[in-house]
Amino acid sequence: MKQNSFDDNFRVKRGLAEMLKGGVIMDVVTVEHAKIAEDAGAVSVMALERVPADIRRSGGVARMADPALIESIKNAVTIPVMAKVRIGHFAEAQILEALQVDFIDESEVLTPADEEYHIDKTPFKTPFVCGATNLGEALRRISEGAALIRSKGEAGTGDIVEAVRHLRSITSDIKALSSAGPQELFGFAKRLQAPLELVQEVAATGWLPVPLFCAGGIATPADAALVMQLGAEAVFVGSGIFKSENPAKTAKAITEAVAHLEQPDILVKVSSGLGTPMEGKTVQSLDVHMASRGW
């Protein structure tokens, strides 16, 4: 392995992911959104041109956001700023690195640029987050240099079911690895289509070598508390905030729900009187399943 937990550059990249734990990363499309998110307690904002719900509605090719928009959002807030690139589009990633964003999301929400290869993330100084629907996919992204994994869910739907499915799949496979014997790990590596060294590391530590966050479908404080209790270490909220009736209040409520995930009395308080959440679309009704992009 080119990099491991003791490699300097990788520890610095993973370090920022560690600092975001217990927080909410919010999708924003304007400077005004970014300020609302920061005021509500976001640990980071994801700068993009359209939230996933709008990408679904309008269709067409979804690409990296205009660098000028990202720059204006960087200048408007003091918290870390992330931005998305298309799967496999290393030139977009080079642009974001030159722009000095804090984290790059190689995201299935944008239209994939490469059907065969994800970006080799090791030469970049900027950390990458990648989506995964299962443990094998997570470990393949980590072997390519991802410093953070988020379960994919189904972005832009407000339907939590896929997020739950992916999170449960990842954590139950980690549990299976933890109780497997050394000999069985060769078979696991083959089935998961993941590097043996990483499979062995997960078996030994009982967790991924990087943090695991959750994305795709979180629309309420209860959704956030659910996925945190299922093992997510932080949440990404895309359309759920700025497609709700009261974005500022919803954003702050989700921030509090993530901090106090096991305190039902606090969840009652923050969930009350938020107005209408994002309308949402059930996963069954979709034409495009973003989670199946990438491998």
Partner 1 sequence: MSPKKDATYIGVLALQGNFRMHEYAVERLGATPIEVKLPSDLDIVQGLIIPGGESTTMSILLATSELIEPMSKLIEDGLPVFGTCAGMILLASNLSDGRSDQISLGAIDISVQRNAFGRQPNSFECDLSVAKIGLHPFRGVFIRAPLVYSVGRDVEVLSRLSDERGASPVLCKQDNILVGSFHPELTGDDRIHKLFLSMVYSQ
Among 252, 267, 283, 290, binds partner 1 (CB under 8 A): 252
The catalytic position among 13, 74, 84, 252 is 84
- Give the closest residue to 234 by CA, choosing from 29, 33, 46: 46
Give yes or no for residue 249 binding partner 1 (CB under 8 A): no
Give yes or no for residue 71 binding partner 1 (CB under 8 A): no
C-alpha 165, offset from chain centre: 15
**Nearer to partner 1 among residue 92 and residue 162 (C-beta):** 92
Least distance CB 142 / partner 1 (angstroms): 17
Q: What are the tokens at 245?
A: 């009736």
* Catalytic residue check, 252: no
- Return the residues of window 35-64 that contact partner 1 according to CB under 8 A: 38, 40-44
Among 228, 256, 280, 293, binds partner 1 (CB under 8 A): 256
Tell me the C-alpha to C-alpha distance, in Å, between residue 24 and each of 60, 91, 219, 256, 268. 28, 28, 12, 9, 19
Per-residue contact track with partner 1, 111 to 150, x per CB under 8 A? Answer: --------------xxx-----------------------
Kindly report each contact of residues 34-39 with a partner whose C-beta sits within 8 Å and lies 24 or more positions away, as own/partner: 34/73, 34/76, 34/77, 34/81, 35/76, 35/77, 36/247, 36/248, 36/251, 37/77, 37/241, 37/251, 38/77, 38/78, 38/79, 39/248
Q: What are the catalytic residues?
A: 84
Footprint of partner 1 (CB under 8 A): 8, 11-13, 15-16, 18-23, 38, 40-44, 74, 78-80, 97, 100-103, 125-127, 252, 255-256, 258-260, 263
